[in-house]
């Protein structure tokens, strides 16, 4: 119980929003102390309340719209940085953001009048005490582009390692993913 409260916690990936880094059916461990220690069952920090993730970190956080859910996404922009997306290219403070595992899979069709929020966004400045997150599978991700920035106190941990992975098709267990560090 103490390990789960302060050191490591297990999470399951339920969607394809983080592919190819994390696959649907991956089970991972997250370090809970990386960004400070939180009092269990609250968002209050014992210490480290001012710790900010690095750009590119994959974090687990309380979903700001529904506090009963946890989300896993990649940190794209930090406090006081300006993020803009033009034709699917992300810019941070006017400079192109170098993508790694991120991908776009298909065009996204919005209803008339909604605009192209996935392909074009901002510019928006990240508020102090917040981060802007996106899924690696950008065209299949429900992220900060839709519901806003993540308060630092909502961050629960940093994704660390895949301890189990399965798929609904044979051979069911993806042994080659077990033990992979998450980057």
Q: What is the mean pLDDT of each run of 10 residues along the chain (183 residues)?
A: 73 94 97 83 74 96 94 98 96 90 49 58 97 95 96 94 93 94 95
Phi-psi region of 93 (alpha: psi -120 to 50; beta: other; left: phi over 0): left
- Concatenated DSSP letters for 3-42? HHHHTEEEEE--SSTTTTTS-TTEEEEEESSTT-EE-TTS
Q: Let me know if 141 is a catalytic residue.
A: no
Catalytic residue among 16, 32, 73, 156: 73
Please tell me the predicted confidence (pLDDT) of residue 114: 44
**Helix ranges restricted to H, 29-166:** 144-147
2-177 is a CATH 3.40.50.1980 domain: no
CB burial of residue 76 (10 Å; 0-12, 13-18, 19+):
buried
H-assigned helices in the chain = 2-6, 144-147
Closest by Cα among 83, 75, 69, 66 to 34: 75
pLDDT at 159: 98
Which one of 17, 141, 144, 165 is the catalytic residue? 17
* Res 33: pLDDT: 87
- The answer to whether 51 is a known catalytic residue is no
Q: Are 82 and 123 in contact (CB under 8 A)?
A: yes
* C-alpha to C-alpha distance for 174 and 170, rounded to whole angstroms: 9
């Amino acid at each position: 119980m103490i390990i789960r409260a302060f050191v490591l916690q297990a999470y399951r990936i339920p969607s394809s929003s983080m592919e190819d880094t994390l696959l649907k059916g991956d089970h991972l461990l997250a370090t809970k102390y990386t960004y400070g220690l939180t009092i269990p069952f609250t968002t209050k920090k014992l210490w480290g309340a001012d710790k900010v993730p690095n750009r590119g970190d994959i974090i687990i956080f309380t979903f700001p719209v529904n506090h009963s859910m946890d989300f896993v996404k990649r940190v794209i922009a930090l406090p006081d940085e300006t993020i803009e997306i033009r034709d699917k290219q992300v810019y941070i403070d006017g400079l192109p953001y170098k993508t790694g595992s991120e991908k776009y899979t298909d065009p996204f069709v919005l209803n008339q009048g909604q605009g192209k929020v996935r392909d074009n966004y901002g510019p928006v400045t990240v508020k102090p005490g917040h981060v802007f997150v996106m899924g690696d599978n950008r065209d299949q991700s429900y992220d900060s582009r839709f519901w806003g920035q993540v308060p630092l106190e909502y961050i629960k941990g940093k994704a660390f390692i895949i301890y189990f992975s399965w798929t609904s098709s044979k051979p069911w267990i993806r042994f080659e993913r077990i033990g992979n560090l998450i980057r």
